Amino acid sequence: MTTDFLIVGAGYAGSVCARVLADAGKTVHLIDKRPHIGGNAYDERDAHGVLIHPYGPHIFHTNAKKVIEFLSRFTTWRFYEHRVLAQVGEQLLPIPINRTTINQLYGLSLSEDEVQGYLETVREPRDPLQTSEDVVLNSVGRDLCDKFFRGYTRKQWGLDLSQLSAGVAARIPTRSNDDDRYFADTYQFMPADGYTAMFERMLDHPGITVRTGVDFKDVRGDFPGSHILYTGPIDAYFDHCYGPLPYRSLRFDHQHLPDTEHYQPVGTVNYPNDHDYTRITEFKHLTGEQHPGTSIVREFPQAEGDPYYPVPRPENEALFKRYAALAEAAQGVTFVGRLAQYRYYNMDQIVAAALKTAQDLLDGSPAAAA
Ligand X SMILES: Cc1cc2nc3c(=O)[nH]c(=O)nc-3n(C[C@H](O)[C@H](O)[C@H](O)COP(=O)(O)OP(=O)(O)OC[C@H]3O[C@@H](n4cnc5c(N)ncnc54)[C@H](O)[C@@H]3O)c2cc1C
189 DSSP β-pair partners = 60, 79
Number of residues this chain uses to bind ligand X (CB under 6 A): 33
Supply the minimum distance, in Å, between the C-beta of residue 196 and ligand X.
12
Judged by CB, which is closer to ligand X: 21, or 102?
21
Q: Can residue 8 be called a binding residue for ligand X (CB under 6 A)? A: yes
Q: Residue with CB nearest ligand X? A: 39
Q: Rounded to whole angstroms, how far apart are CA atoms 362 and 102?
A: 52
Q: List the x/- string, 82-121, binding to ligand X by CB under 6 A.
A: ----------------------------------------
Could you tell me if 58 and 34 are in contact, meaning their C-beta atoms sit under 8 angstroms apart? no
Choice from 215, 289, 317, 360 touching ligand X (CB under 6 A): 215
**Residue length, the chain?**
370
Supply the minimum distance, in Å, between the C-beta of residue 287 and ligand X.
13
60 DSSP β-pair partners = 189
Q: List the x/- string, 303-322, binding to ligand X by CB under 6 A.
A: -----x--------------
Rg of the chain over Cα atoms, rounded to whole angstroms, equals 22
Q: List the x/- string, 315-354, binding to ligand X by CB under 6 A.
A: ----------------------xxx-----xxxx-x----
* Cβ neighbours around 60 below 10 Å, total: 27
Q: How far is CA 350 from CA 35, 79, 183, in A?
A: 21, 21, 17
Judged by CB, which is closer to ligand X: 191, or 232?
232
Q: List the x/- string, 227-246, binding to ligand X by CB under 6 A.
A: ----xx--------------
Choice from 4, 11, 87, 311 touching ligand X (CB under 6 A): 11
Q: Can residue 9 be called a binding residue for ligand X (CB under 6 A)? A: yes
- Considering only residues 180 to 199 of the shown chain, the ones binding ligand X according to CB under 6 A are none
Annotate 312-365 with DSSP letters as a single string: --HHHHHHHHHHHHHHHH-SSEEE-STTTTTS---HHHHHHHHHHHHHHHHHT-
- Considering only residues 14 to 73 of the shown chain, the ones binding ligand X according to CB under 6 A are 14, 31-34, 39-41, 56-59
Which part of the chain contacts ligand X (CB under 6 A), choosing from 5-13, 189-197, 288-296, 355-363?
A: 5-13
Q: Rounded to whole angstroms, how far apart are CA atoms 82 and 84?
A: 7
The 3-state DSSP class for residue 223 equals: coil
Choice from 182, 216, 271, 320 touching ligand X (CB under 6 A): 216
| Burial (CB count within 10 angstroms: exposed 0-12, middle 13-18, buried 19+), residue 252 | middle
Q: Rounded to whole angstroms, how far apart are CA atoms 219 and 217?
A: 6
- Which residues would be at the binding site for ligand X (CB under 6 A)? 8-14, 31-34, 39-41, 56-59, 215-217, 231-232, 250, 308, 337-339, 345-348, 350
